[in-house]
Amino acid sequence: MARVFSGVQPTGNLHLGNYLGAIRNFTRLQDDNECLYCVVDMHAVTVWQDPKVLKNNTREVTAAFLASGIDPKTHIVFNQSGVPQHAEIAWIFNCVARVGWLNRMTQFKEKAGKHRENASVGLYVYPNLMAADILAYKATHVPVGEDQKQHLELARDIAQKFNNDFGVEQFPIVEPLILDSAARVMSLRDGRKKMSKSGASDYSRLNLNDDADTIALKIRKARTDSEPVPDGSPESGDRVSRPEAFNLLEIYAALADQPISQIQNEFGGQQFSQFKEALVNLAVEKLGPIGAEMQRFGVDPKYIDSVLFDGVERARSIAEPIRDEVHEIMGFLRG
Ligand code: AMP
Ligand code: TRP
């Protein structure tokens, strides 16, 4: 039985990419593994968050976990700031990771943009905290979307350097679990951009709490080209030449849990208007119940808070002795 860890930031607008790239896979790992799923509020504040909104967003991500089928009794669902060992180990990793390693992180470059000098220091060392999240539990398996691959490689480098520097076998080498299908869901408005919480237009994403009418409207309005649905033949194009068309096919395939080739066999050659109606039905069937459950949890914040509180206690009891081992290795005196 492996220990699985993953995190999602409470930064609002949870969308189909978060679900297909990450949260749905979290649920599928529950049978054979010991899982910790974390709402990473300390990662969220690397960019400005309104405190009241942050609280609500933390509850919303928790609700999405539960609505998607994560069982908080068998597994651990908690918020990061409740377990101080994440920050403690992150500090040590700030002293292990090299400036050159962080300089290569593409997400920092994207998020800091032109205002690099003005970005928070937290945003820069964000991947070190992410490594600490995972290694505070010696977790080995980490389900994420494709955009987190580089951060997981950094977590491996940190674990390896720590082990080498101190001549120990303290930290395991992390395995990314990035599924091929839907590891990178693209915007409904621009097939070259990732679907993201911060995409300016709400029409660029399907939010997990969208109702059926909104899902239908967004899919009907999704950008496509003027060609029919690609049927798999070379003449019908590829992901590069027809990014929007393939994005919709990939979304369908992921929601239906079938290979994309099968979807192409079924719909290839049809008009997109027809295919979109099938996608509307499938998306409403799969996402509708999740949105409804999220709403149900939304009116019961006390229950959500009790889940997090319980998760924090259980997470701490794993992370504390691991932090103690790290302190011993480092030569920190214990009072
Ligand atoms: P975040 O919202 O950045 O905290 O991401 C939470 C999880 O969703 C991470 O595992 C991401 O890799 C994944 N994710 C975010 N956006 C997408 C996307 N467009 N396609 C697939 N996975 C995604
Ligand atoms: N950085 C991840 C994201 O933005 C979230 C995250 C934080 C995470 N800590 C983690 C994911 C640990 C996996 C493991 O999506």
**Does one domain contain both 158 and 228?**
no
Mutate to test the pocket of ligand 1, among 42, 147, 251 (most ligand atoms within 8 A of CB): 147
| CATH code of residue 126 | 3.40.50.620
- Identify the band that residue 181 occupies on the pLDDT scale cut at 50, 70 and 90: confident
Q: Would you say residue 200 has pLDDT above 90?
A: no
* Residue 99 maps to a domain: yes
User: Would you state the pLDDT for residue 311?
Assistant: 98
Q: Would you say residue 240 has pLDDT above 90?
A: yes
**Does one domain contain both 315 and 266?**
no
Average pLDDT of the residues in 204-233: 96
User: Would you state the pLDDT for residue 179?
Assistant: 87
Mind listing the pLDDT tens digit for each residue in 148-175? 999 999 999 999 999 999 999 999 999 9
Average pLDDT of the residues in 175-201: 93
**Does one domain contain both 55 and 157?**
yes
Closest alpha carbon to 290 in 142, 68, 131: 68
**Does one domain contain both 285 and 305?**
no
Q: Is the C-beta atom of 197 inside 6 A of ligand 1?
A: yes
Q: Is the C-beta atom of 137 inside 6 A of ligand 2?
A: no
**Does one domain contain both 84 and 52?**
yes
Full domain range(s) for residue 164: 2-184+301-330
Q: Would you say residue 43 has pLDDT above 90?
A: yes
Closest alpha carbon to 92 in 328, 327, 316: 327
Q: Is the C-beta atom of 185 inside 6 A of ligand 1?
A: yes
**Does one domain contain both 148 and 41?**
yes
Mutate to test the pocket of ligand 2, among 49, 130, 171 (most ligand atoms within 8 A of CB): 130
Report the catalytic residues: 111, 194, 197
* Residue 190 maps to a domain: no
**Ligand 1, atom nearest to 148 Cα:** 12
**Does one domain contain both 14 and 85?**
yes
Task: Point out the ligand nearest to the CA of residue 10.
Answer: 1
CA distances from 3 to 38, 158, 335 (A): 13, 19, 31
Ligand 2 centre from 139 Cα, in Å? 13
Ligand 1 centre from 228 Cα, in Å? 29
Q: Would you say residue 335 has pLDDT above 80?
A: no
How far is residue 107's CA from residue 290's CA, in Å, rounded to a whole number? 29
Sheet holding 76-79, edge to edge: 76-79, 33-39, 2-8, 141-143, 175-177
- Identify the band that residue 182 occupies on the pLDDT scale cut at 50, 70 and 90: confident
**Does one domain contain both 210 and 312?**
no
User: Would you state the pLDDT for residue 118?
Assistant: 95
**Does one domain contain both 131 and 267?**
no
Q: Is the C-beta atom of 25 inside 6 A of ligand 1?
A: no
How far is residue 62's CA from residue 56's CA, in Å, rounded to a whole number? 10
* Residue 271 maps to a domain: yes
- Identify the band that residue 326 occupies on the pLDDT scale cut at 50, 70 and 90: very high
**Both tokens assigned to 46:** 């690397």
Alpha helices in the chain (DSSP H): 16-18, 24-28, 41-44, 51-68, 85-96, 99-103, 106-112, 121-135, 149-166, 212-221, 243-256, 260-267, 272-298, 301-330
**Does one domain contain both 274 and 316?**
no
DSSP single-letter state for residue 20: I
Average pLDDT of the residues in 96-109: 97
Global pTM?
0.96
**Ligand 2, atom nearest to 126 Cα:** 1
**Does one domain contain both 314 and 289?**
no
User: Would you state the pLDDT for residue 148?
Assistant: 97
**Both tokens assigned to 288:** 């509708």
**Both tokens assigned to 217:** 């409207």
Q: What percent of the chain has pLDDT over 90?
A: 96
* Residue 193 maps to a domain: no
**Does one domain contain both 325 and 290?**
no
Q: Is the C-beta atom of 9 inside 6 A of ligand 2?
A: yes
CB 37 within 8 A of CB 6: yes
Tally of structural domains, the chain: 2
- Identify the band that residue 245 occupies on the pLDDT scale cut at 50, 70 and 90: very high
* Residue 191 maps to a domain: no
| CATH code of residue 288 | 1.10.240.10
* Residue 317 maps to a domain: yes
* Residue 189 maps to a domain: no
Mind listing the pLDDT tens digit for each residue in 114-148? 889 999 999 999 999 999 999 999 999 999 999 99
Ligand 1 centre from 22 Cα, in Å? 6
Q: Would you say residue 190 has pLDDT above 90?
A: yes
* Residue 192 maps to a domain: no
Q: Is the C-beta atom of 134 inside 6 A of ligand 2?
A: yes
